[in-house]
Amino acid sequence: MTSIDADNIECRQHQLICIDGQGYIDRVVDETDAEFETVRQEAVAGDKLISLNPDEYILPGFIDLHIHAPQWPNAGVALDRPLNEWLDVYTFPMEAKYRDVEFAKRVYDDLVNELIANGTTTALYFGTIHNEANLELAKACVRHNQRGFIGKVAMDNPEETPENYRDASAKVAVEQTEEFIHQLEELNQTAMVKQTPVITPRFVPSCTPELLKGLGELAAKYDLPIQSHCSENDWENGFALEHYHKRDSEVLDQYGLLTDKSVMAHGTMLNQSDLTRFKQRGVAVAHCPISNVFFGDAVLPVSKLLQQHNKVGMGTDISGGYSPSLYQNIRQSVISSRMLHQGVDPELSPEERGTDNQQITAKNGFYLATVGGAEGLHLKTGQIKAGYLADLQVVKAPLTKFEDESLDQTFEKIIYQATKHDIKQVFVRGQVAKG
Ligand SMILES: Nc1nc2[nH]cnc2c(=O)[nH]1
């Protein structure tokens, strides 16, 4: 089962997915192809055939386009305050604990294992300000065969960050970001699945202009991906307007932080001029629908972004979002979009209540979690197609089937009902990561 575009999927039965020595899909042979039987026999003879049970299906592995690894111990708690208070009261104190490398090792091993169990083969991570802990995250990804994109978080603004969890200065933050780039280069020399460093200004409020400038220059020097949060809610959107007299996206752009390798989380408050700027620069939005219910103050109009060809993928935003599962986030993206479409205030008439044409489908959500994420990270993955990385999940159709179903129906049931227990095997670059 694979997306062919934002609205359509292709579901086929009885195919052979042939994987080459480099972990790419070499070809997909259909049962109707003349060579099917020969290719199958060759695989059997070479002891290379992995066959599925009749109720199992292969989907591309998911790409989590926005996740805060250090917040994993807080997943499912502390969702009772607005973003700025939540950061101060729960999140910064938790992240400060990663000065303890042993704590980092324990949490990161557990998190990466859990993401793989949920079918996530690539993740774009925020780490913390501590490089030793960030390196442990990278090592956990290598151990579990997950493709990590990992950022040393940079945050130096004394007005918006606590004394015990802040970079000593803009200069130190930039130097340590550069140091982390080299640490990953070294790790990659022996890693099966490569880990990529990401330039990570936390967001405009927690960075001084000097830091934003330094990070923009570093991203250009090494041609690296960039991640941050942009226009996540009214408070964040208002911060740039008040302090810079500019929109959040303009501030990031001014410092060279909006490029075609940038991924900006949330964006619920982006206006049309921001979206046009994102499109011109090739910036991807990481849609985090569960988190947005708690902290976003609005619903990202995914349907509009897809229609106007803004790049958009899906993130869990642990722990702003409580679930490590992208299945859960796809479901929430559909639910939120329907509420945006219908509106929620019963005092208003149906005509006034909603926003027209905003509902998305399970197929749209699946596209975000696969193709959208791959585009955001410039990866050849997210589809079951020759030339694409063999990042795959084998999923057992959940729950009992009472009558014949079309493959489209089975797809929908998987998207709406699968849990990690239904994900039987996970492969990253053709190598087993689960099962
Ligand atoms: N959701 C979310 N938004 C942020 N903005 C700045 N930091 C964070 C964070 O950790 N989570």
Q: Is the pLDDT of residue 276 over 90?
A: yes
Q: Around Cβ 166, how many Cβ atoms within 10 Å? A: 18
Are 321 and 291 spatial neighbours (Cβ–Cβ below 8 Å)? Answer: yes
The C-alpha torsion from 377 through 144 and 96 to 63, rounded to 10°, is: 30
Residue bearing the CA closest to ligand 1, atom 11: 320
The question of ipTM being above 0.85 is answered as yes
* Interatomic CA distance for residues 222 and 220, integer angstroms: 6
CA nearest 410: which of 26, 130, 57?
57
Ligand 1 close to Cβ of residue 91 (< 6 A): yes
Ligand 1 close to Cβ of residue 66 (< 6 A): no
Specify the length of the chain in residues: 435
Q: What is the 3-state secondary structure (H, E, C) of 172-219?
A: HHHHHHHHHHHHHHHHHCCCCCCCEEEEEECCHHHCCHHHHHHHHHHH
Task: Tell me the per-residue pLDDT of 107-126, one tens digit each, with 9 for 90 and over.
Answer: 999 999 999 999 999 999 99
Atom of ligand 1 lying closest to residue 236 CA:
5
- Domain range summary for the chain, segments of one domain joined by +: 2-59+385-434, 62-377
In terms of CATH, what superfamily is 62-377? Metal-dependent hydrolases (3.20.20.140)
- pTM value > 0.95: yes
Task: Tell me the per-residue pLDDT of 225-253, one tens digit each, with 9 for 90 and over.
Answer: 999 999 999 999 999 999 999 999 999 99
Ligand 1 close to Cβ of residue 320 (< 6 A): yes
Residue with tokens 């502390």: 78
How far apart are the CA of 151 and the centre of ligand 1, in A? 14
* Interatomic CA distance for residues 81 and 172, integer angstroms: 31
Phi/psi of residue 71, each to 5°?
Answer: -85, 5
Ligand 1 close to Cβ of residue 317 (< 6 A): yes
Whether the bond between 273 and the residue before it is cis, its omega within 30 degrees of 0, is no
How far apart are the CA of 322 and the centre of ligand 1, in A? 13
Atom of ligand 1 lying closest to residue 206 CA:
6
Ligand 1 close to Cβ of residue 364 (< 6 A): no
* Interatomic CA distance for residues 367 and 306, integer angstroms: 10
- The set of residues, in sequence order, having a beta carbon less than 8 Å from that of 36 and lying 6+ positions away, is 16, 29, 30
Atom of ligand 1 lying closest to residue 95 CA:
10
Ligand 1 close to Cβ of residue 177 (< 6 A): no
Q: What's the topology of domain 2-59+385-434?
A: Urease, subunit C; domain 1 (2.30.40)
Please report, rounded to a whole number, the percentage of residues in the chain having pLDDT higher than 70. 100
How far apart are the CA of 53 and the centre of ligand 1, in A? 42
Task: Tell me the per-residue pLDDT of 306-358, one tens digit each, with 9 for 90 and over.
Answer: 999 999 999 999 999 999 999 999 999 999 999 999 999 999 999 999 998 89
Residue 401 has what pLDDT? 84
Our CA angle for 121, 125, 129, nearest 5°, is 155
Ligand 1 close to Cβ of residue 165 (< 6 A): no
DSSP 90: I
Parallel, antiparallel, or unpaired for β 9-10 and 431-434?
Answer: unpaired
